[in-house]
Structure 1
Amino acid sequence: MFGPEGPSLRELAVQALSSVEHGYDLLAPKFDHTPFRTPGRVLDAVARALDPLGPFDDGLDLCCGTGAGVRVLAGLCRRSAVGVDFSAGMLEVARHRVRPEDGPAIGWVRGDARALPFTAAFDLVVSFGAFGHFLPRELPGLFAQVHSALRPGGSFAFPLGAPTPAHHPAFWALLGFDAVMRVRNALWRPPFVMYYRTFRLGTVLAELARAGFTTELRALPEFGRRDDGSPRARLVVATKSTAEQGG
């Protein structure tokens, strides 16, 4: 479906009828040959935007997949860059594709983002393209976990695109995808949680504030601006107070 190295339509169907964890275990060997992987230009733009905010000692890539975000952290962090994901298959691919060189130590942890095994361990947490796997009601717990994993003064950063306008074909494609997933999850178990239109900026900012973060939005100029002058993509930077100790 995505070229000779990507998954076939049959493989995608099997993955879609699995749990999220098992589906990604199956997809892992071919994940980097699909459009689901975060594009390199997004990773590069985030790296450029974060660089002036450093220096950082230790970084965590939340829901790291095959490790593209850990590569970003390896260029920003002086001591360690860690990826956490609950798919053993994705982590196995990441271990082979992201190897320590002359930069910080690289680490991989199998774990659930909703129950992170870290407390005040990182200066920077990033995440790329994973938030569709969390229902809106899970955001308070997710953001609380990230807050606990950060040291005082640490930052939680992730890119967020502007909403697709209703006149654009992509709007209807994403709306249709979410509708299909809702029907699938109503009729089939285990559920496969992946929605493109549930992670909304207003809700995200409110939940970050509720978790104790101070948040700023930084335009990613590489992606230009919409007709109304607003950025097509932003970097959300949520910072934990320097006055807080631990979680």
Structure 2
Amino acid sequence: MLIEKVEEEIKVKGQEPIKVLKDVGRPCHCLKQKSLKNRFKNALIPEEFKNARFDNYKTENETQRTLFNATKDYLKDFPNIMENKPKQNSLGFIATFGETRIRNLSGEERYKVKAEHNSFGLGKTHLQMAAAKWILNNIRIHDEIAPGQKSRFDRGCRVLCVSDIRFMGELINAKMNSDGGQTLNKLLESAIQADVLVWDDIGKVKYSETKEGLYYEIINERYRQQKPIIFSSNEDIGTLSEKIGYAASSRLEEMCGDRLYRVEGKDYRLRREAQ
């Protein structure tokens, strides 16, 4: 911790303000580096995406270029998003033709539509994790310590990355725990209070009313607190509503505004295996 002198005015009724020097602690470089390492650890970036970066993302077709440019454009505006907290603060990639809609088709038609409207293997998760790492490395935040007054000290941005199947499974298991809701509340709090929530493959789990309630609680609270969500889904806007609930889906759509992208293209994993 470094100590620096800061000039401060003390107002005394009936007298001129008095200027005094006050010792104020400022985190040193080594503490900031330690904090960065802890934030990377707490972000829960999946091991298979530890090396995901923008410079090793493949842009071999128009869809991948759209995804790449959309993410980069979003991050250019990200300092403004964190500073001014606009309502449209999020980024979403969803399918043009949702997985649930495809599954409901007959065998031959399903194969044809899947080939024409594939949303898998486009690199959505790669870009999400690259964005998460960029935010962890580059964004500093001044917390509000009073209405309209921000701290003079900044801190690193807190990011949480979750995968839909694993995260919703943890929430459901926690809900069934006999600990008075402590584990569930802790999980919900982490998802709600993170500065940025990165939600991969949202809507992947099987629907239930309990899960719909959990989706809405997290998304609505982040909507209310104007905290961004970076998400992807292999559902379209209609089938996503069926999987997470219409209210939660509507909130996500509103939070994205023009930054909700409907994407489809060739599966990169299949092309790589064929080589």
Q: TM-score, normalised by structure 1?
A: 0.35
Higher relative contact order (CA 8 A, sep 6+): 2
Q: Which has the larger radius of gyration?
A: 2
